[in-house]
């Protein structure tokens, strides 16, 4: 245990926690956007897996990291389009069709992986971008300012998302559609179009988050995310549907995962107890959900309710 | 989908059908794959009918498997007549507890059950990995130093009897069908089942009618979990190795039955008896997908991807059907109304003519 409490190990752990929180953050920000418009987008984990695989595959075949991330986001957007058609045009129940998307992503990413790659070939991981000056601050620099570009992008997206939701006309539409779709509709806001946009953005971010995960790890395997996408959904509840709240939750979960990993490496957790520690994020999620359940007043009133004019 | 993977869909399909329904052995394999799907599907019927979405089948299967395994390890010398019902009951209890946790969280704290059940899936698998790597590991694995995470061969007294000579078809098929019929009786022939469905049809209306909505929600997830737990027991004691084995991955032991059961139940229109043929169909799909993998080298994970699409299509088509029905109802209403108008008009006409004819 004393090995853990040395400056260098602690700094490395925090740094890895920030890195690990990025996929959570990207997916949860997107999910926040969708939920504010009244859509419970449950396929996140499957979409992340698809984004992860196709991002990984692109880097494997073309050795272009940026293209990998873009492909991940694009695959996510396509899945978002499918989900939008199913839930908005066909009014399918959001919860169950989301699980369908999840299963598809789970199966299809594994299928493609086995068919096209087979063995876990390593790829070039994302390189570090040092922020000039700030990166040289002792400790803090290593913790916060020596990460790959996608980490900064995710952090920058937090205020951007908050601005879009709270300060723009479109954000106002999103909120009104999520709270009282009938009123929004009567004022000429297209519920369907607004929700379609949030769904596509949410899934593109989920795909990007998946790609970021695969490229950070520099590999892909079957069920790489292991429920990370579902935790991201829980983080939206945890963050009370606010981008800043989601950021706090993501950092917390990234840190927990990093601490568990670090303890495994240092041998503080050995053998069989390591698998018990692996479930820490999941257990934490259940506990967090139970604790915050009472103050769910921030939940968009029309969440999961399909909209049909005149009904 | 098969085409894009560069193989002949016709060869693939014939391999799939042959592998699933081609003969006695194949049919038995399909039935074996269908058992956990049917049990999970039955549980899903119960919970979805109460509008409680149980995605925790995976975890509940594992919990049921663990409790039933521990039971068989604790009292291995009981005669088969006692031990087999005991391990089945243990499965029911294990899965029931794992379902009751999210059930209570939803009923009394308002925690979204979709998220809590999925998180509990991850927890259950890790608990299993821990137990099989340490406290429950086969002592022989430690001696040999191989440390494969599995239990010792469980008591032969708990082995499910084989029903059909020359195949692996075992008692589990009877258990699964009986459970499905029992669930049907419960849902449509008992007061509690009626209340449970009433909660699903409308929570507020049910509450005004004096139905304890919270208790019904808890019951729905507990009963649903018990069915999945039963599937766990069937998977352990009907297995060829007669042990509980994990490969460390989330779906290694369950074979995704907790998810595929949802597909079967949706395909069976959330009716336990219709879920029987649906489970056989998807069991056949899984067995056939393996055969297809051997025949034309398409990974069997195709089946999972296809199941996802099936869910999306089934859910989408259900709401389309509902909309059509509403539209048809509207038309019927219109027809009815215009008919009554006409009748009223006739009546009016008649009175008018009557008045006119009056002197």
The domain that holds A36 is classified in CATH as 1.10.3470
Looking at domain B13-299, does it have CATH number 1.10.3470?
yes
Confidence of residue A213 (pLDDT cuts 50, 70, 90): very high
Instruction: Estimate the crossing angle of helix A191-217 against helix A228-238, to 10 degrees.
Output: 130
Residue A246's nearest CA partner among A17, A26, A16 is: A26
What confidence category does residue B90 fall into, taking pLDDT thresholds of 50, 70 and 90? very high
> What is the residue range of A223's domain?
7-298
Q: What residue ranges do the domains of chain B occupy? A: 13-299, 301-359
d(CA A265, CA B19): 45
Question: How far does A233 lie from chain B, in Å, by closest CA?
Answer: 8
Mutate to test the interface with A, among B47, B112, B254, B296 (most CBs of A within 10 A): B112
Give B11: exposed, middle or buried? Use CB within 10 Å, 0-12, 13-18, 19+: middle
Q: Are B115 and A227 inside 8 Å of each other by CB?
A: no
Nearest by CB to B319, from A91, A237, A290: name it.
Answer: A91
pLDDT-derived band at B359, boundaries 50, 70, 90:
very low
Query: In chain B, which residues have their Cβ closer than 8 Å to the Cβ of A276?
Result: 126-127, 130
> Which residue on chain A is closest to B149 by alpha carbon?
A272
> Tens digit of pLDDT for each residue in B245-294?
887 777 778 888 888 898 899 888 899 999 999 999 888 888 888 888 77
Q: Which of A150-154, B9-13, B53-57, B128-132 has the lowest mean pLDDT?
A: B9-13
A309 part of a folded domain: no
pLDDT of residue A59: 92
Q: Which of B31, B27, B1, B25 is nearest to B13 (CA)?
A: B1
Q: What is the pLDDT of residue A296?
A: 61
Tokens 């025949």, residue? B295
Mean pLDDT computed over B139-146:
81
Please count the structural domains in chain A.
1
**CA B6/CA A31 separation, integer angstroms:** 36
Q: What is the pLDDT of residue B302?
A: 80
Confidence of residue A69 (pLDDT cuts 50, 70, 90): very high
Q: Is residue B24 a contact partner of residue B166, using CB atoms and an 8 Å limit?
A: yes
DSSP state of B106: I
Residue of B nearest to A274 (CA): B130
Q: Does residue A198 form part of some domain?
A: yes
> Is residue B347 predicted with pLDDT exceeding 70?
no
Res B340: pLDDT: 62
Q: What is the pLDDT of residue B181?
A: 96
Residue B126 near chain A (CB below 8 Å): yes
Query: Do A227 and B121 lie within an 8 Å CB cutoff?
Result: yes
- Using the beta-carbon criterion (under 8 Å), do A230 and B118 form an inter-chain contact? yes
Residues 6+ apart with CB under 8 A from A308: A91
Q: Do A285 and B115 touch (CB under 8 A)?
A: yes
Helix B302-357 to helix B272-296 angle (10° resolution) is 140
Residue B328 or B84, more confident: B84
Cβ under 8 Å to B: A residues 68-97: 82, 86, 90-93, 95-97
Query: How far is Cα of residue B209 from the mean position of the Cα atoms in its chain?
Result: 30
Tell me, yes or no, whether A311 lies in a domain: no
Residues of B in contact with A286 (CB under 8 A): 105, 111, 116, 119-120, 123
Considering only CB atoms, A114 lies closest to which of B110, B116, B299, namely B299
Q: Supply the pTM of this predicted model.
A: 0.85
Binding-face residues of A in 27-56 toward B, CB within 8 A: 42, 46
Q: Does the residue A307 lie in any domain?
A: no
Query: Which residues in chain A have their CB less than 8 angstroms from residue B53's CB?
Result: 95-96
> Are A235 and A46 spatial neighbours (Cβ–Cβ below 8 Å)?
no
Q: In this model, does residue B122 exceed pLDDT 80?
A: yes
* Partner-chain residue, chosen from A111, A279, A286, that has the shortest CB–CB distance to B299: A111
Pairs of residues, one from chain A and one from chain B, whose beta carbons lie less than 8 Å apart: 161
CA gap A102, B309 in Å, rounded: 10
**What number is the average pLDDT over the span B27-42?**
93
The residue that leads in pLDDT, A157 or B202, is: A157
Which chain B residues are within 8 Å of A82, Cβ to Cβ?
A: 312
Contact A282 B119 (CB under 8 A): yes
| Residues A112-149: b if buried by 16+ CB within 10 A, e if exposed | bbbbebeeeeebeebeeeeeeeebeeeeebbbbbbbbe
User: Could you tell me which chain A residue has the CA closest to the CA of B48?
Assistant: A96
Q: What is the predicted pLDDT for the residue at A271?
A: 66
Percent of chain B with pLDDT over 70: 86
What local confidence, expressed as pLDDT, does residue B4 receive?
59
Mean pLDDT is lowest, of A260-264, B99-103, B144-148, for: B144-148
Considering only residues 283 to 342 of chain B, which have any Cβ-Cβ distance to chain A shorter than 8 Å?
298-299, 301-312, 315-320, 323
* Residue B213 pLDDT greater than 60, yes or no: yes
Does position B353 have pLDDT exceeding 50, yes or no? no
pLDDT of residue B206: 92
The ipTM is 0.82
Selected residue with higher pLDDT from A293 and A27: A27
Higher model confidence: residue B140 or residue A163? A163
Q: Distance (Å) from the C-alpha of residue A20 to the closest C-alpha of chain B?
A: 19
Chain B 17-56, CB below 8 Å of chain A: which residues?
53, 55
């Amino acid at each position: 245990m004393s090995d853990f409490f040395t400056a260098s190990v602690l700094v490395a752990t925090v740094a890895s926690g920030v890195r690990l929180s990025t996929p959570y953050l990207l997916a949860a920000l997107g999910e926040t956007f969708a939920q504010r418009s009244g859509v419970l987008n449950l396929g996140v984990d499957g979409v992340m897996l698809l984004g992860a695989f196709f991002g990984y595959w692109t880097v494997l075949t073309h050795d272009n990291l940026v293209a990998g991330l873009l492909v991940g986001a694009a695959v996510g957007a396509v899945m978002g389009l499918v989900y939008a058609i199913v839930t908005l045009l066909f009014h399918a129940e959001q919860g169950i069709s989301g699980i369908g998307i999840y299963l598809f992503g789970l199966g299809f990413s594994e299928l493609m992986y086995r068919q096209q790659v087979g063995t876990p070939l390593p790829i070039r991981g994302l390189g570090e971008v040092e922020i000039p000056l700030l990166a040289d601050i002792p400790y803090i620099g290593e913790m916060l300012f020596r990460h790959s570009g996608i980490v900064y992008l995710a952090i920058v997206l937090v205020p951007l998302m908050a601005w879009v939701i709270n300060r723009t006309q479109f954000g106002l539409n999103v909120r009104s559609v999520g709270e009282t779709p009938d009123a929004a509709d009567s004022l000429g806001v297209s519920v369907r179009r607004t929700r379609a946009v949030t769904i596509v953005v949410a899934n593109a971010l989920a795909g990007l988050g998946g790609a970021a995960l695969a490229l950070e790890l520099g590999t892909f395997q079957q069920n790489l995310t292991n429920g990370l996408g579902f935790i991201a959904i829980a983080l939206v509840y945890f963050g009370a549907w606010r981008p800043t709240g989601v950021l706090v939750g993501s950092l917390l979960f990234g840190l927990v995962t990093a601490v568990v990993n670090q303890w495994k490496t240092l041998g503080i957790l050995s053998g069989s107890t390591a698998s018990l520690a692996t479930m820490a994020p999941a257990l934490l999620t259940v506990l967090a959900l139970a604790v915050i359940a009472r103050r769910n007043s921030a939940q968009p009133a029309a969440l999961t309710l399909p909209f049909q004019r005149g009904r | 989908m098969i085409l894009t993977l560069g193989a002949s869909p016709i060869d693939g399909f014939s391999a799939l059908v042959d592998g699933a329904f081609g003969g006695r052995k194949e049919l038995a394999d399909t039935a074996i794959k269908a058992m956990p799907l049917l049990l999970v599907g039955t549980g899903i019927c119960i919970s979805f009918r109460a509008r409680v979405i149980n995605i925790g089948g995976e975890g509940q299967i594992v919990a049921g498997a663990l409790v039933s395994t521990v039971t068989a390890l604790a009292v291995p010398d009981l005669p088969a007549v006692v031990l087999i019902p005991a391990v089945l009951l243990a499965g029911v209890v294990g899965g029931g507890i794992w379902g009751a946790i999210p059930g209570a969280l939803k009923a009394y704290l308002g925690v979204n059950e979709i998220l809590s059940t999925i998180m509990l899936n991850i927890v259950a698998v890790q608990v299993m990995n821990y137990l099989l790597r340490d406290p429950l590991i086969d002592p022989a694995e430690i001696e040999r130093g191989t440390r494969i995470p599995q239990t010792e061969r469980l008591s032969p007294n708990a082995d499910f009897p084989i029903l059909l000579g020359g195949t692996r078809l075992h008692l589990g098929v009877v258990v699964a069908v009986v459970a499905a019929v029992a669930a049907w009786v419960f849902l449509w022939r008992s007061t509690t089942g009626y209340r449970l469905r009433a909660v699903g049809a409308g929570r507020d209306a049910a509450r005004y009618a004096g139905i304890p909505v919270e208790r019904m929600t808890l019951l729905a997830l507990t009963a649903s979990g018990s069915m999945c737990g039963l599937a766990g027991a069937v998977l352990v004691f009907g297995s060829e190795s007669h042990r509980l084995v994990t490969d460390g991955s989330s779906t290694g032991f369950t074979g995704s039955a907790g998810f595929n059961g949802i597909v079967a139940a949706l395909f069976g229109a959330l009716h336990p008896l219709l879920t029987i043929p649906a489970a056989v169909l998807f069991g056949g799909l899984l067995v056939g997908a393996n055969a297809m993998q051997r025949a034309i080298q398409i990974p069997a994970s195709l089946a999972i991807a296809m199941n996802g699409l099936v869910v999306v299509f089934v859910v989408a088509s259900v709401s389309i059907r509902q909309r059509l029905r509403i539209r048809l109802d509207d038309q019927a209403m219109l027809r009815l109304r215009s008919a009554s108008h006409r009748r009223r008009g006739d009546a009016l006409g008649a009175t008018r003519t009557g008045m006119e004819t009056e002197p």
